[in-house]
Structure 1
Amino acid sequence: MFAIAITLLVIEIEVPEGGTNLLGQLLDLWPNYVGYVLSFALIGQVWLNHHAMFQRLKSLDHWTMICNLALLLNVAFLPFPTAVLAQALRTGEGTTVAAVFYGLVMVIGGIFFNAVWWSARRGGHLKEDTTPVEIGAITRRFALGPLLYGVATALGLINAWLSIATYIILIGFFMMENRPHRTRERPRSRQSRGKIS
């Protein structure tokens, strides 16, 4: 599904008519390139975190699959707000609405992503070796998504480019792996091992 959504992003880029001004026509498509890179990175970030999450699951139930289906619905919809944003940037009209609309899609996607995690967690589908420290760190990290994307969306009301720049920063942040280190028990000293409590 992620690969299909990325492919649809490319389809949204119009092929120039050609002629003597082909270079100019290609340069005029810069809003489409911006939208493509932005959404490609977003889908890639969702895929990376989705993969990391499912590596920690030992099983799935019906409700978790429904939440996952809702997430895929959001990802598959992404080419549309991408095209809307690119069109607004090209014409210079409706950029605020387009940036906020794009951000709202990201916020909803973040909510669906959290729903998958919470469903799997509450249903007892995590692998036994997933520690409470890991669960807490992952839960907090995922919960930040909708909140931070909500802030970036609100910035779109001030300036569309400010919002887009914040989207890029947040995508980069959530792309980075943030797996908490598992604490290892320190080996007891020879003296302590010889004592009988």
Structure 2
Amino acid sequence: MSEDVRDPARVVAISDGVIAIAATLLVLEIRPPADTEHLLHGLLALWPSYLAYAVTFMLVGQVWANHHVMFDHIRHADRMILFLNTVLLMDIAFLPFAASVLADAFRDGHGERTAVVMHGLVFFLAAALFNLIWWHARHHLLSNNINPAGVRAIGRRFQLALLWLGTATILGGLLPVLGVAVFAAFIAFYWLPISGELGFTGPRRTA
């Protein structure tokens, strides 16, 4: 193996760690009510934090799942993959802050549009990086366990994510509740399997 070509298992390992930490930090942004005398009311008043936590955690879960879908088919990690994946992890590590801003905005009733747009832009950037990584990998670094149809199916799913998240972000800037609803619909759709993601037996032709 050449100096500039590396085992992608190490990329997956550090990515799993960063994603796991980001997902765990999300719950730390939910702080218990200070007034225990009216605890039930205080807990119910935290609904924006629960919403931000649930939406963000499930989106992070999708990032994790689709990251594995990609790297199941990448045979080597060159320097470009390392760079793009590092930027992706930097973006993911920002998510606990974005989720906290979203929860605070809905709880206070101010800045909801800005909060939804910022939250959406973080995931939009992640989707853009997925597309860049897959575009680079499909031209240089794919293994032989996936055929051209599978390569195109994964690429189409990643492209649709970019469009979907971009639309949700724009809608969130106009009507925050609608933006969050479109993000929620994205979660439901993107847990569906991708045709061809598990590969096939036989040699891979050039995609």
Does the pair score TM above 0.5?
Answer: yes
Shift, 1:51, TM fit: 0.8
Task: State which of 172, 176, 179 in structure 2 corresponds to 1:163.
Answer: 179
Q: Radius of gyration: which is bigger?
A: 1
C-alpha displacement of 1:100: 1.2
State whether residues 49 and 175 of structure 1, in contact with CA within 8 Å, keep that contact through their aligned partners in structure 2: no
1:20-39 aligned within 5 A: 20-39=37-56
Give the structure-1-normalised TM-score: 0.88
1:151 corresponds to which residue? 167
CA distance in 1, matches of 2:36, 2:185: 38
Q: Within 2, Cα distance between the matches of 1:19 and 1:142?
A: 46
**Alignment of 1:62 onto 2:79:** yes
Mean CA deviation greater in 139-148 or 34-43: 139-148
Q: Which residue, out of 94, 106, 128, partners 2:111?
A: 94
What is the SS of the residue equivalent to 1:102? helix
1:38 partner letter: V
Q: How does 1:85-164 map to 2 (within 5 A)?
A: 85-123=102-140, 125-164=141-180
- What amino acid does structure 1 have at the position aligned with 2:187? I
Q: Within 1, Cα distance between the matches of 2:70 and 2:113?
A: 34
Change (3 A) 1:126 1:172: same
Give % identity. 41
Pair 13,61 (structure 1): closer, same or farther in 2 beyond 3 Å: same
Aligned pairs, number: 183
Q: CA RMSD for the aligned pairs?
A: 1.7
Cα distance in structure 2, aligned partners of 1:55 and 1:67: 17
Give structure 1 stretches of 5+ with no counterpart: 185-197
Structure 2 unaligned runs (5+)? 1-17, 202-207
Kindly indicate whether the alpha-carbon contact (under 8 Å) linking 1:110 and 1:146 is maintained by their aligned counterparts in 2. Answer: yes
The ranges of structure 1 where at least 4 consecutive aligned residues each deviate by more than 4 angstroms after the TM superposition are 181-184
- Asked if 1:45 is matched to 2:62, the reply is yes
1-side partners of 2:67 and 2:92: how far apart? 12
